[in-house]
Protein backbone atom coordinates (compact mmCIF):
# COMPACT_ATOMS: atom_id res chain seq x y z
CA UNK A 1 0.00 0.00 0.00
CA UNK A 2 1.53 3.34 -1.03
CA UNK A 3 1.84 6.18 1.47
CA UNK A 4 0.42 9.64 0.76
CA UNK A 5 3.96 10.85 0.00
CA UNK A 6 4.40 8.05 -2.54
CA UNK A 7 1.09 8.93 -4.19
CA UNK A 8 2.12 12.59 -4.47
CA UNK A 9 5.47 11.45 -5.83
CA UNK A 10 3.75 9.55 -8.63
CA UNK A 11 1.29 12.36 -9.35
CA UNK A 12 4.10 14.88 -9.85
CA UNK A 13 6.02 12.33 -11.93
CA UNK A 14 3.02 11.89 -14.20
CA UNK A 15 2.45 15.65 -14.49
CA UNK A 16 6.06 16.10 -15.60
CA UNK A 17 6.10 13.23 -18.07
CA UNK A 18 5.23 15.44 -21.07
CA UNK A 19 8.42 15.46 -23.12
CA UNK A 20 9.92 13.37 -20.32
CA UNK A 21 13.25 11.62 -20.71
CA UNK A 22 14.48 8.36 -19.23
CA UNK A 23 18.16 7.81 -18.56
CA UNK A 24 19.38 4.25 -19.12
CA UNK A 25 22.64 2.90 -17.71
CA UNK A 26 24.59 0.00 -19.28
CA UNK A 27 25.82 -3.12 -17.54
CA UNK A 28 28.79 -5.44 -17.79
CA UNK A 29 29.88 -6.12 -21.34
CA UNK A 30 29.85 -2.47 -22.44
CA UNK A 31 33.42 -1.85 -21.28
CA UNK A 32 36.19 -0.92 -23.72
CA UNK A 33 39.72 0.39 -23.29
CA UNK A 34 39.67 4.17 -23.69
CA UNK A 35 36.18 4.64 -22.26
CA UNK A 36 35.69 7.93 -20.44
CA UNK A 37 38.99 9.49 -21.49
CA UNK A 38 37.41 12.15 -23.72
CA UNK A 39 35.05 13.30 -20.95
CA UNK A 40 37.90 13.24 -18.42
CA UNK A 41 40.04 15.50 -20.61
CA UNK A 42 37.30 17.99 -21.53
CA UNK A 43 35.02 18.32 -18.50
CA UNK A 44 36.17 19.11 -14.94
CA UNK A 45 33.16 17.34 -13.41
CA UNK A 46 34.12 14.15 -15.25
CA UNK A 47 37.74 14.48 -14.10
CA UNK A 48 36.52 14.90 -10.51
CA UNK A 49 34.41 11.76 -10.86
CA UNK A 50 37.38 9.64 -11.96
CA UNK A 51 39.59 11.14 -9.25
CA UNK A 52 36.97 10.29 -6.63
CA UNK A 53 36.79 6.70 -7.91
CA UNK A 54 40.58 6.35 -7.76
CA UNK A 55 40.60 7.65 -4.18
CA UNK A 56 37.74 5.42 -3.00
CA UNK A 57 39.06 2.23 -4.59
CA UNK A 58 42.71 2.81 -3.73
CA UNK A 59 44.07 2.20 -7.24
CA UNK A 60 44.06 4.01 -10.57
CA UNK A 61 40.77 2.89 -12.05
CA UNK A 62 41.02 5.81 -14.46
CA UNK A 63 44.27 4.47 -15.93
CA UNK A 64 42.70 1.03 -16.44
CA UNK A 65 39.70 2.64 -18.19
CA UNK A 66 41.87 4.80 -20.44
CA UNK A 67 44.82 2.49 -21.15
CA UNK A 68 43.87 -1.04 -20.10
CA UNK A 69 45.19 -3.69 -20.40
CA UNK A 70 41.94 -5.09 -21.76
CA UNK A 71 42.26 -8.44 -19.97
CA UNK A 72 42.49 -6.65 -16.61
CA UNK A 73 39.55 -4.41 -17.45
CA UNK A 74 37.54 -7.60 -18.03
CA UNK A 75 38.02 -8.79 -14.43
CA UNK A 76 34.51 -8.57 -12.99
CA UNK A 77 35.51 -6.74 -9.81
CA UNK A 78 37.25 -4.10 -11.96
CA UNK A 79 34.71 -4.03 -14.80
CA UNK A 80 31.80 -3.19 -12.53
CA UNK A 81 33.24 -0.08 -10.81
CA UNK A 82 34.78 0.98 -14.15
CA UNK A 83 31.46 1.02 -16.00
CA UNK A 84 29.77 2.67 -13.01
CA UNK A 85 32.41 5.43 -12.99
CA UNK A 86 32.20 6.15 -16.71
CA UNK A 87 28.40 6.21 -16.48
CA UNK A 88 28.36 8.65 -13.55
CA UNK A 89 30.98 10.86 -15.21
CA UNK A 90 28.80 11.00 -18.34
CA UNK A 91 25.70 11.63 -16.23
CA UNK A 92 27.29 14.56 -14.39
CA UNK A 93 28.36 16.13 -17.67
CA UNK A 94 24.93 15.55 -19.20
CA UNK A 95 23.08 17.06 -16.25
CA UNK A 96 24.91 20.35 -16.75
CA UNK A 97 23.31 20.60 -20.20
CA UNK A 98 19.73 19.30 -19.89
CA UNK A 99 17.11 18.84 -17.13
CA UNK A 100 17.26 15.74 -15.00
CA UNK A 101 15.45 12.62 -16.18
CA UNK A 102 11.93 11.78 -15.04
CA UNK A 103 12.80 8.09 -14.73
CA UNK A 104 16.01 6.07 -14.59
CA UNK A 105 16.80 2.41 -15.23
CA UNK A 106 19.95 0.34 -15.54
CA UNK A 107 20.74 -3.07 -16.94
CA UNK A 108 22.03 -5.35 -14.15
CA UNK A 109 25.12 -3.49 -12.87
CA UNK A 110 23.61 -0.36 -14.45
CA UNK A 111 20.86 -0.38 -11.84
CA UNK A 112 23.47 0.87 -9.35
CA UNK A 113 24.26 3.81 -11.66
CA UNK A 114 20.52 4.50 -11.80
CA UNK A 115 20.33 4.57 -8.01
CA UNK A 116 23.28 6.97 -7.82
CA UNK A 117 21.52 9.17 -10.37
CA UNK A 118 18.38 9.16 -8.23
CA UNK A 119 20.23 9.79 -4.98
CA UNK A 120 19.43 6.43 -3.39
CA UNK A 121 23.10 5.84 -2.64
CA UNK A 122 26.27 7.87 -2.89
CA UNK A 123 28.73 7.34 -5.71
CA UNK A 124 31.38 6.27 -3.18
CA UNK A 125 29.08 3.67 -1.59
CA UNK A 126 28.06 2.38 -5.01
CA UNK A 127 31.71 1.99 -6.04
CA UNK A 128 32.57 -0.14 -3.02
CA UNK A 129 29.38 -2.17 -3.36
CA UNK A 130 29.80 -3.04 -7.04
CA UNK A 131 33.48 -3.86 -6.54
CA UNK A 132 32.41 -6.40 -3.92
CA UNK A 133 29.46 -7.50 -6.05
CA UNK A 134 31.83 -8.37 -8.88
CA UNK A 135 34.15 -10.22 -6.53
CA UNK A 136 31.30 -12.19 -4.92
CA UNK A 137 29.80 -13.12 -8.29
CA UNK A 138 33.14 -14.31 -9.61
CA UNK A 139 33.82 -16.40 -6.51
CA UNK A 140 30.31 -17.91 -6.26
CA UNK A 141 30.91 -20.57 -8.92
CA UNK A 142 34.27 -22.20 -9.82
CA UNK A 143 35.56 -21.49 -13.32
CA UNK A 144 34.11 -23.86 -15.89
CA UNK A 145 31.14 -24.93 -13.74
CA UNK A 146 28.77 -22.31 -15.13
CA UNK A 147 27.99 -20.78 -18.51
CA UNK A 148 25.65 -18.37 -20.29
CA UNK A 149 24.22 -18.40 -23.80
CA UNK A 150 22.23 -16.04 -25.98
CA UNK A 151 19.05 -17.36 -27.61
CA UNK A 152 17.98 -15.21 -30.55
CA UNK A 153 14.60 -15.20 -32.25
CA UNK A 154 12.68 -17.40 -29.81
CA UNK A 155 9.69 -16.40 -27.66
CA UNK A 156 10.25 -16.16 -23.88
CA UNK A 157 7.84 -18.99 -23.05
CA UNK A 158 9.62 -21.29 -25.50
CA UNK A 159 13.01 -20.36 -24.05
CA UNK A 160 11.66 -21.19 -20.58
CA UNK A 161 10.56 -24.60 -21.92
CA UNK A 162 14.01 -25.18 -23.39
CA UNK A 163 15.65 -24.33 -20.06
CA UNK A 164 13.34 -26.69 -18.18
CA UNK A 165 13.88 -29.56 -20.60
CA UNK A 166 17.65 -29.07 -20.73
CA UNK A 167 18.18 -28.81 -16.97
CA UNK A 168 18.12 -32.56 -16.19
CA UNK A 169 18.70 -31.91 -12.50
CA UNK A 170 21.09 -29.00 -13.07
CA UNK A 171 20.45 -25.24 -13.20
CA UNK A 172 19.36 -23.66 -16.48
CA UNK A 173 17.33 -20.45 -16.26
CA UNK A 174 16.46 -17.32 -18.29
CA UNK A 175 18.88 -14.66 -17.03
CA UNK A 176 18.34 -11.59 -19.23
CA UNK A 177 15.06 -11.02 -21.06
CA UNK A 178 16.56 -8.28 -23.16
CA UNK A 179 14.08 -7.87 -26.01
CA UNK A 180 11.60 -9.92 -28.04
CA UNK A 181 14.57 -11.03 -30.13
CA UNK A 182 17.18 -11.74 -27.44
CA UNK A 183 17.12 -13.80 -24.25
CA UNK A 184 20.23 -14.87 -22.35
CA UNK A 185 20.18 -18.07 -20.30
CA UNK A 186 22.44 -19.04 -17.42
CA UNK A 187 23.30 -22.10 -15.34
CA UNK A 188 25.52 -25.17 -15.17
CA UNK A 189 27.73 -25.54 -18.23
CA UNK A 190 26.30 -28.89 -19.33
CA UNK A 191 22.72 -27.72 -19.00
CA UNK A 192 23.35 -24.50 -20.91
CA UNK A 193 25.10 -26.42 -23.69
CA UNK A 194 22.13 -28.80 -23.91
CA UNK A 195 19.79 -25.79 -24.02
CA UNK A 196 21.59 -24.21 -26.96
CA UNK A 197 21.24 -27.43 -28.95
CA UNK A 198 17.57 -27.74 -28.04
CA UNK A 199 16.92 -24.12 -28.98
CA UNK A 200 18.51 -24.70 -32.39
CA UNK A 201 16.38 -27.80 -32.89
CA UNK A 202 13.21 -25.95 -31.88
CA UNK A 203 13.60 -23.06 -34.30
CA UNK A 204 15.68 -20.35 -32.65
CA UNK A 205 17.37 -18.07 -35.18
CA UNK A 206 20.60 -18.58 -33.30
CA UNK A 207 21.83 -20.00 -30.01
CA UNK A 208 25.40 -19.35 -28.94
CA UNK A 209 27.51 -19.66 -25.82
CA UNK A 210 28.82 -16.35 -24.46
CA UNK A 211 32.41 -15.63 -23.35
CA UNK A 212 31.59 -14.85 -19.71
CA UNK A 213 33.45 -15.67 -16.52
CA UNK A 214 30.45 -16.78 -14.43
CA UNK A 215 26.75 -17.76 -14.78
CA UNK A 216 25.16 -14.47 -13.74
CA UNK A 217 21.51 -13.95 -12.77
CA UNK A 218 20.62 -17.52 -11.90
CA UNK A 219 20.24 -19.52 -8.70
CA UNK A 220 23.92 -20.57 -8.81
CA UNK A 221 24.64 -16.98 -7.68
CA UNK A 222 22.95 -17.51 -4.29
CA UNK A 223 26.27 -17.41 -2.35
CA UNK A 224 27.04 -14.04 -3.96
CA UNK A 225 23.54 -12.78 -3.17
CA UNK A 226 23.92 -13.67 0.51
CA UNK A 227 27.26 -11.88 0.79
CA UNK A 228 25.99 -8.81 -1.06
CA UNK A 229 22.89 -8.63 1.12
CA UNK A 230 25.11 -8.06 4.16
CA UNK A 231 26.88 -5.19 2.38
CA UNK A 232 23.64 -3.56 1.24
CA UNK A 233 22.10 -3.92 4.70
CA UNK A 234 25.03 -1.98 6.16
CA UNK A 235 24.56 0.92 3.71
CA UNK A 236 22.53 4.01 4.53
CA UNK A 237 20.19 4.43 1.59
CA UNK A 238 17.89 7.37 0.81
CA UNK A 239 14.47 7.59 -0.79
CA UNK A 240 15.01 7.91 -4.58
CA UNK A 241 14.48 11.42 -5.89
CA UNK A 242 12.57 9.98 -8.84
CA UNK A 243 11.51 6.43 -9.72
CA UNK A 244 14.06 3.76 -10.54
CA UNK A 245 12.83 0.84 -12.63
CA UNK A 246 14.14 -2.34 -11.03
CA UNK A 247 15.27 -5.28 -13.15
CA UNK A 248 13.90 -8.11 -11.03
CA UNK A 249 10.25 -6.93 -10.90
CA UNK A 250 10.10 -4.56 -13.90
CA UNK A 251 8.42 -2.10 -11.53
CA UNK A 252 9.09 1.35 -10.08
CA UNK A 253 11.12 1.50 -6.87
CA UNK A 254 10.25 4.56 -4.79
CA UNK A 255 11.76 3.99 -1.34
CA UNK A 256 15.02 2.83 0.18
CA UNK A 257 13.67 -0.49 1.52
CA UNK A 258 12.42 -1.49 -1.91
CA UNK A 259 15.73 -0.40 -3.39
CA UNK A 260 17.75 -2.64 -1.09
CA UNK A 261 15.44 -5.62 -1.54
CA UNK A 262 15.41 -5.46 -5.33
CA UNK A 263 19.18 -5.04 -5.58
CA UNK A 264 19.64 -8.12 -3.40
CA UNK A 265 17.18 -10.24 -5.39
CA UNK A 266 18.66 -9.04 -8.67
CA UNK A 267 21.79 -11.19 -8.16
CA UNK A 268 19.90 -14.46 -8.72
CA UNK A 269 16.86 -13.01 -10.51
CA UNK A 270 16.27 -12.43 -14.21
CA UNK A 271 16.93 -9.01 -15.70
CA UNK A 272 13.51 -8.20 -17.19
CA UNK A 273 14.79 -5.48 -19.48
CA UNK A 274 12.12 -5.81 -22.15
CA UNK A 275 9.39 -5.41 -19.52
CA UNK A 276 11.22 -2.49 -17.89
CA UNK A 277 11.33 -0.58 -21.17
CA UNK A 278 7.68 -1.32 -21.90
CA UNK A 279 6.78 0.05 -18.46
CA UNK A 280 8.54 3.32 -19.26
CA UNK A 281 6.90 3.51 -22.68
CA UNK A 282 3.50 2.98 -21.01
CA UNK A 283 4.30 5.98 -18.81
CA UNK A 284 4.78 8.21 -21.82
CA UNK A 285 8.53 8.11 -22.38
CA UNK A 286 9.42 8.82 -25.98
CA UNK A 287 13.11 9.69 -25.58
CA UNK A 288 15.72 7.46 -23.95
CA UNK A 289 19.33 8.42 -23.29
CA UNK A 290 21.88 5.65 -22.71
CA UNK A 291 24.40 7.18 -20.30
CA UNK A 292 27.76 5.44 -20.23
CA UNK A 293 29.99 3.32 -22.46
CA UNK A 294 28.65 1.58 -25.55
CA UNK A 295 25.31 1.49 -27.35
CA UNK A 296 23.96 -1.89 -26.21
CA UNK A 297 20.76 -0.50 -24.70
CA UNK A 298 20.00 1.63 -27.75
CA UNK A 299 20.35 -1.51 -29.84
CA UNK A 300 17.88 -3.33 -27.61
CA UNK A 301 15.43 -0.43 -27.83
CA UNK A 302 15.39 -0.81 -31.62
CA UNK A 303 14.26 -4.39 -31.07
CA UNK A 304 11.66 -3.41 -28.45
CA UNK A 305 10.10 -0.31 -30.08
CA UNK A 306 11.68 1.31 -33.13
CA UNK A 307 9.34 4.31 -32.88
CA UNK A 308 11.14 5.58 -29.76
CA UNK A 309 14.25 7.75 -29.81
CA UNK A 310 17.30 6.31 -28.06
CA UNK A 311 20.65 8.11 -28.10
CA UNK A 312 23.85 7.45 -26.17
CA UNK A 313 26.25 9.70 -24.25
CA UNK A 314 29.77 8.33 -23.87
CA UNK A 315 32.03 11.17 -25.10
CA UNK A 316 31.78 14.75 -26.33
CA UNK A 317 30.71 13.85 -29.88
CA UNK A 318 27.88 11.57 -28.71
CA UNK A 319 26.89 14.18 -26.09
CA UNK A 320 26.41 16.87 -28.73
CA UNK A 321 24.47 14.50 -30.97
CA UNK A 322 22.26 13.46 -28.05
CA UNK A 323 21.55 17.09 -27.16
CA UNK A 324 20.38 17.73 -30.71
CA UNK A 325 17.92 14.82 -30.50
CA UNK A 326 16.68 15.78 -27.05
CA UNK A 327 16.18 19.41 -28.07
CA UNK A 328 14.28 18.34 -31.19
CA UNK A 329 12.04 16.09 -29.13
CA UNK A 330 11.23 18.77 -26.54
Q: What gap in Å lies between CA 288 and CA 312, rounded to an integer?
A: 8
Pick the catalytic residue: 108, 118, 186, 259? 108
Judge if 125 and 261 occupy the same domain.
yes
Pick the catalytic residue: 107, 115, 217, 283? 217
Residues paired with residue 207 on neighbouring β-strands, in sequence order: 151
Contact (CB, 8 A) for 208 and 215: no
CATH number for the domain spanning 247: value is: 3.40.366.10
Indicate the number of domains in the chain.
Answer: 2
Judge if 203 and 226 occupy the same domain.
no
Which backbone phi and psi does 241 adopt, to 5 degrees? -65, -40
User: Mean pLDDT, to the nearest integer, of 299-309?
Assistant: 96
Strand, coil or helix: 152: strand
Strand, coil or helix: 22: strand
Judge if 151 and 92 occupy the same domain.
no
Average pLDDT across the chain, whole number: 93
Query: pTM of this prediction?
Result: 0.93
Judge if 119 and 151 occupy the same domain.
no
Report residue 9's pLDDT band, with 50, 70 and 90 as the boundaries: very low
Judge if 126 and 238 occupy the same domain.
yes
> Does 17 score more than 80 pLDDT?
no
Judge if 96 and 25 occupy the same domain.
yes
According to the model, what pLDDT value does residue 325 have? 83
**Residue 192: domain span:** 146-212
Residues contacting residue 13 through CB under 8 Å, at least 6 positions apart: 102, 103, 242, 243, 283
Secondary structure in 3-state letters for 229-291 = HHHHHHCCCCCCCCCEEECCCCEEECCHHHHHHHHHHCCCCCECHHHHHHHHHHCCCCEEEEE
Residues paired with residue 312 on neighbouring β-strands, in sequence order: 290
According to the model, what pLDDT value does residue 213 have? 86
Report residue 178's pLDDT band, with 50, 70 and 90 as the boundaries: very high
> Does 19 score more than 90 pLDDT?
no
Q: What gap in Å lies between CA 135 and CA 106, rounded to an integer?
A: 20
Number of H helices, E strands in the chain: 15, 10
Judge if 228 and 208 occupy the same domain.
no
Does residue 217 carry a catalytic annotation?
yes
> Does 10 score more than 80 pLDDT?
no
Contact (CB, 8 A) for 216 and 142: no
Judge if 32 and 162 occupy the same domain.
no
pLDDT, tens only, 255-293: 999 999 999 999 999 999 999 999 999 999 999 999 999
> Does 14 score more than 70 pLDDT?
no
Helix (H) or strand (E) holding 183: strand 182-188
Amino acid sequence: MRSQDDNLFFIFSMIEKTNAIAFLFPGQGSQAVGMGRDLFEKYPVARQTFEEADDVLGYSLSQLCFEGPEEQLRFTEITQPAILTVSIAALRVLETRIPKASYVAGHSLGEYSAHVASGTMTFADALCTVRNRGKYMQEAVPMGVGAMAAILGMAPDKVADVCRDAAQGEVCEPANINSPEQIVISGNTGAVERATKLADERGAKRAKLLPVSAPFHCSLMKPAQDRLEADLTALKLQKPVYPVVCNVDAAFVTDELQSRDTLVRQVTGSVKWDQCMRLLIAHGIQTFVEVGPGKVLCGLMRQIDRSKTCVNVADEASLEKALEHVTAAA
